[in-house]
């Protein structure tokens, strides 16, 4: 991979290249590793590959974000809403029967129990407050499965902001229930018919809206993707997951986990879990969607992609030999994205986090397992992490303590799961 | 510029400035509507008064483009257009004696996939004069800028009405050839009217540079060209030109292109045919 990246290096930023060359094969030290740099680069990844029209907007956003982070009132308001509205801290559940089966101690971080049912609300709420602070009352968002759209529509209803959500026409069909939820919450859902008619194209269309209405519009990005400062900002907002989990597991188990595991689409729930543990002696595992298998249609960007630029950042990307972005596939709409957050590309390159992939079928097995053994219906996304854990159970030791991010609940997936299991509802 | 390479762009603007008229620069996706169409389109455009051509390098996710160009790019890609197709188009045109500036406009990812060094080297070899990379502002240009400069290829940067004075200064510092002024806060696509703030915006850019200024995005009519001609050095006609090509059967295409460009450039004094459709 380093050879490929070397071939494609084109941001001859001195600090970027030196970090890149220094880091290959070496471990990065301590929390957060201090990245990104001021331009939003994680080594050669990240950055701001956007039309000039948007440059002032991301600069303004970076400043507003830094301002907010230094403001106790902003934190107080955010913490208050995370507690009383979202329901944080979410529980850390010891999964007894799963632990027995795997013969290790498995803890589930219960993001499925947040208001709206997934971790997406953490960053949507924080960005809503930031938009309010910046005086931007028109909110746009992209959504795939609809979870981020629902979270954003929810926050807009709460804060009295106008909300437009872009969604690919294929996803609108697959996720009719979430479309209805967004509309009930007062959002306008705009169907996108271009390209592959899924999340990638909804994102293109949201960016086009932003380019056109940038003066009064805030774009709430749902993952750790997009131009700087989004990957950093969404990571920081989602890190509440890992910070809570770290305290909870020390409290409940008395030691830090030996393994942290989460699913990766764009990568926001994974980075939220991993980030506070980057400086610890802990094995971190991101699980991508292998779809129908890595030689067929899949969404395993880090496992099978190559470096490229999409949606404002350089990162690993599913693309053909000519640099055209290819369609991703996963049974889970939330993982069905041909890109991935630039920090994950960096964490893979530096070998701090390992990335693997499980198939649609394996994910379904993980989902059924958790349903039947723990009484929890996980989202198809999160089921990938469970499936991988089941897959590697022979590698684990009985004194391993595993922290698994259960990023969302599975109610939204019932139609898809029934279809896959050949059940007519 | 490298020693033996003519600076066709500088020569063009020296001439149009002397003639006190704006340069007319149509934009067309390469390898579209048919994969072998580019050469005849370029020739017809030159006959109609085009002073330079922008050839679009198709990309699957053109996030600064409106539906006209998106659609054309999708069709071009479906026909198998690659960076090699575009470079071959230019090679062919030069071989046939075309001497106007030829500019490749596109997004960075296909160029990275091709290998940016190789792309720049090959572009120069076949006779490309400049590159416009829509999603690569100067802060990300890094080695691309260095490689392009060493190869004698102009890297054209864009400025927008939202650009702050600080951004304008930055772009002006990096700019070579000309500066592309995006006429409006938005994506590409033909519009009925020009932005009211265009004059003020172009005036602001002018404070930071002596380089020629080209205005593009949304320009579709003769009166747009007349207006822009008073404040800038060139007009880029994108989606409106693409629509002319899209809406004409191949057999009538060359005549329609010539006709449209003669009208819009003021070479022919007839009523403007309504060719734009808003997107």
Mean pLDDT of the residues in chain B: 93
| DSSP collapsed to 3 states, chain A | CHHHHHHHCCCCCHHHHHHHHHHCCCCCCCHHHHCCCCCCEECCEECCCCCHHHHHHHHHHHHHHHHHHCCHHHHHHHHHHHHHHHCCCCCEEECHHHHHHHCCEEEEEEHHHCCCCECHHHHHHHHHHHHHHCCCCEEEEEECCCHHHHHHHHHHHHHCCEEEEEEEHHHHHHCHHHHHHHHHCCCEEEEECCCCCCHHHHHHHHHHHHHHHCCCEEEECCCCCCCCCHHHHHHHHHCHHHHHHHHHHHHHHCCCCCEEEEECCCCHHHHHHHHHHCCCCCEEEEEEEEECCCCCCCCCHHHHCEEEEECCEEEEECECCCCCECCCCCCCHHHCCCECCHHHHHHHHCCCEEEEEEEHHHHHHHHHHHHHHHCCCECHHHHHHHHHHHHCHHHCCCCCEEEEEECEECHHHHHHHHHHCCCCC
B158-159 β-sheet, strand order: B154-156, B130-133, B102-106, B53-56, B23-29, B234-237, B213-216, B179-182, B158-159
Residue A175: its pLDDT value, please? 86
ipTM of the complex: 0.93
Statement: residue B278 has pLDDT above 80? no
Mean pLDDT of B41-50: 97
- Which residues of chain A make contact with B159, given a CB cutoff of 8 A? 52
In whole angstroms, what is the distance from residue A421 CA to residue A419 CA? 5
Residue B104 belongs to a domain with what CATH number? Answer: 3.20.20.70
Backbone angles phi, psi at B101, to 5 degrees: -60, 135
The answer to whether residue B231 sits within a structural domain is yes
Look at B135 and A56 and tell me if their CB atoms are within 8 Å.
no
Chain-centre distance of CA A94, in angstroms? Answer: 24
pLDDT confidence of B269, banded at 50, 70, 90?
A: low
On the question of pLDDT at A25 being above 50, the answer is: no
Contact A8 B115 (CB under 8 A): yes
Please spell the DSSP secondary structure of B221-263, one letter per residue: SHHHHHHHHHH-SEEEE-HHHHHHHHTS-HHHHHHHHHHHHHH
Which candidate, A247, A266, A278, places its Cα nearest to that of A313? A266
Asked if residue B114 belongs to a domain, the reply is yes
Per-residue pLDDT at A10 exceeds 60: no
* B205-225 average pLDDT score: 95
> Do the Cβ atoms of A336 and A265 come closer than 8 Å?
yes
**pLDDT tens sequence across A293-341:** 999 999 999 999 999 999 999 999 999 999 999 999 999 988 999 999 9
Structural domain boundaries enclosing B147: 8-265
Residues A104-129, mean pLDDT to the nearest whole number: 98
Asked if the Cβ–Cβ distance from A323 to B186 is below 8 Å, we say no
Chain A residues with CB under 8 Å of B143 CB are: 9-12
Is the per-residue pLDDT at B46 higher than 60? yes
For residue B6, the model assigns a pLDDT of: 86
Average pLDDT over residues B184-204: 91
User: Is the pTM higher than 0.90?
Assistant: yes
Band (pLDDT 50/70/90 cuts) for residue B268 is: confident
- Judge whether B271 lies within some domain: no
Asked whether A260 and A282 are in contact (CB, 8 A), the reply is yes
Which of the four pLDDT bands, split at 50, 70 and 90, describes residue B195? Answer: confident
B3, part of any domain: no
> Is A223 a catalytic site residue?
no
Chain B residue nearest residue A204, CA to CA: B63
**Which pLDDT belongs to residue A32?**
57
* CA A264 to centroid of chain Cα atoms: 6
Our count of domains for chain B comes to 1
Q: Is the pLDDT of residue B272 over 80?
A: no
Q: Name residues 216-275 of chain B within 8 A of A (Cβ).
A: none
Strand pairing report for A353-359 and A283-291: parallel
pLDDT band at B4; cut points 50, 70, 90 = low
Mean pLDDT of B110-117: 97
Decide if B213 is inside a domain.
Answer: yes
Q: Does A397 score more than 80 pLDDT?
A: yes
Shortest Cα distance, chain B CAs vs residue A65, angstroms = 19
Confidence of residue A14 (pLDDT cuts 50, 70, 90): very low
A337-362: pLDDT as tens digits: 999 999 999 999 999 999 999 999 99
pLDDT tens string A89-103: 999 999 999 999 999
A16 pLDDT more than 90: no
Q: Is residue B270 a part of any domain in this protein?
A: no
| Residue in B closest to A51 by C-alpha | B135
Decide if A8 and B167 are in contact by the 8 Å CB cutoff. no
A30-68, pLDDT tens digit by residue? Answer: 355 689 999 999 999 999 999 999 999 999 999 999 999
Which residues in chain B touch residue A214, judged by CB atoms under 8 angstroms apart?
162, 185
Q: Does A52 touch chain B (CB under 8 A)?
A: yes
Instruction: Please state, in angstroms and rounded to a whole number, the distance separating the CA atoms of residues B52 and A249.
Output: 66
At residue A417 the predicted structure's pLDDT band, cuts being 50, 70 and 90, is very high
The interface residues of chain A toward chain B in range 189-228, judged by CB-CB distance below 8 A, are: 194-195, 200-201, 204, 207-208, 211-215
Is residue B83, in this structure, part of any structural domain at all? yes
With b meaning 16 or more CB within 10 Å and e meaning fewer, what string describes A36-55?
A: bbeebbbbbbbbbbbbbbbb
Task: For residue B246, tell me if it sits in a domain.
Answer: yes
In this prediction, residues B126-138 reach a mean pLDDT of 97
| Residue A185, pLDDT above cutoff 70 | yes
pLDDT tier for residue B277 given thresholds of 50, 70 and 90: very low
């Amino acid at each position: 991979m380093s050879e490929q990246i070397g071939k494609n290096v084109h941001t001859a930023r001195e600090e970027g290249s030196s970090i890149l060359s220094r880091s290959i094969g070496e471990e990065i030290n301590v929390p957060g590793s201090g990245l990104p740099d001021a331009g939003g680069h994680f080594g050669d990844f990240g950055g701001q590959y956007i039309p000039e029209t948007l440059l002032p907007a991301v600069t303004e956003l970076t400043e507003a974000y830094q301002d907010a982070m230094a403001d106790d009132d902003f934190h107080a308001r955010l913490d208050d809403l995370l507690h009383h509205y979202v329901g944080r801290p979410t529980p850390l559940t010891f999964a007894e029967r799963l632990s027995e089966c795997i013969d290790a101690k498995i803890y589930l971080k219960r993001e499925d129990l947040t208001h709206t049912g997934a971790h997406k609300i953490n960053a949507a709420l924080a960005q809503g407050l930031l938009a309010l602070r910046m005086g931007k009352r028109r909110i746009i968002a992209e959504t795939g499965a609809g979870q981020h759209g629902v979270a954003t529509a929810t926050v807009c209803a709460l804060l009295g902001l106008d909300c437009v959500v872009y969604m690919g026409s294929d996803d609108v069909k697959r996720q009719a229930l979430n479309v209805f939820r967004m509309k009930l919450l007062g959002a306008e859902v705009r169907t996108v018919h271009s390209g592959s008619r899924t999340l990638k194209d909804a994102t293109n269309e949201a960016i086009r809206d932003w380019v056109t209405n940038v003066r009064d519009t805030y774009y709430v990005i749902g993952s750790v993707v997009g131009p700087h400062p989004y990957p950093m900002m969404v990571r920081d907002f989602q890190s509440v997951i890992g910070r809570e989990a770290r305290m909870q597991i020390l409290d409940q188990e008395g030691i830090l986990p030996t393994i942290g595991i989460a699913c990766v689409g764009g990568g926001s729930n994974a980075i939220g879990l991993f980030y506070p543990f980057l400086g610890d002696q802990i094995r971190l595992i991101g699980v991508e969607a292998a779809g129908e298998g890595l030689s067929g249609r899949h969404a395993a960007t880090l496992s099978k992609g190559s470096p490229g630029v999409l949606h404002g950042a350089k990162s690993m990307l599913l693309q053909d030999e000519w640099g055209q972005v290819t369609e991703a596939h996963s049974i889970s709409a939330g993982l069905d994205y041909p890109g991935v957050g630039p920090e994950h590309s960096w964490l893979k390159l530096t070998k701090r986090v390992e990335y693997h992939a499980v198939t649609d079928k394996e994910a379904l097995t993980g989902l059924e397992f958790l349903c039947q053994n723990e009484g929890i219906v996980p989202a198809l996304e999160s089921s990938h992490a469970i499936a991988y854990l089941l897959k590697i159970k022979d590698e684990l030791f009985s004194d391993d303590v595993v922290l698994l991010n259960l990023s969302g609940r599975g109610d939204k997936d019932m139609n898809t799961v029934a279809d896959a299991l050949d059940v007519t509802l | 510029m490298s020693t033996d390479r003519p600076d066709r762009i500088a020569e063009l603007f020296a001439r149009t400035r002397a003639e006190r008229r704006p340069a007319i620069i149509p934009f067309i996706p390469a390898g579209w509507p048919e994969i072998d169409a580019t050469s005849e389109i370029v020739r017809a455009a030159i006959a109609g008064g085009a002073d330079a051509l922008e050839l679009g390098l198709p990309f699957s996710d053109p996030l600064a483009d409106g539906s006209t160009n998106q659609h054309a790019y999708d069709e071009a890609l479906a026909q198998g257009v690659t960076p090699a197709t575009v470079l071959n188009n230019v090679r062919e045109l030069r071989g046939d004696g075309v001497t106007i500036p030829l500019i490749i406009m596109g997004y960075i990812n296909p160029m990275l996939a091709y290998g940016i060094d190789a792309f720049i080297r090959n572009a120069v070899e076949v006779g490309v004069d400049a590159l416009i990379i829509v999603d690569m502002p100067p802060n990300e240009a890094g080695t691309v800028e260095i490689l392009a400069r060493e190869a004698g290829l102009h890297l054209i940067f864009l400025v927008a009405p939202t650009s702050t004075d600080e951004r304008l200064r930055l772009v002006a510092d990096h700019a070579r050839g000309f500066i592309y002024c995006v006429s409006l806060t938005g994506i590409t696509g033909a519009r009925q009217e020009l932005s009211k703030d265009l004059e003020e915006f172009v005036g602001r850019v002018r404070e930071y540079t002596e380089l020629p200024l080209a205005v593009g995005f949304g320009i579709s009519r003769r009166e747009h060209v007349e207006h822009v001609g008073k404040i800038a050095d060139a007009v880029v006609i994108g989606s409106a030109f693409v629509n002319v090509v899209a809406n004409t059967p191949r057999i009538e295409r060359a005549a329609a292109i010539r006709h449209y460009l003669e009208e819009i450039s003021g070479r022919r004094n007839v009523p403007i045919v309504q060719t734009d459709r808003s997107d």
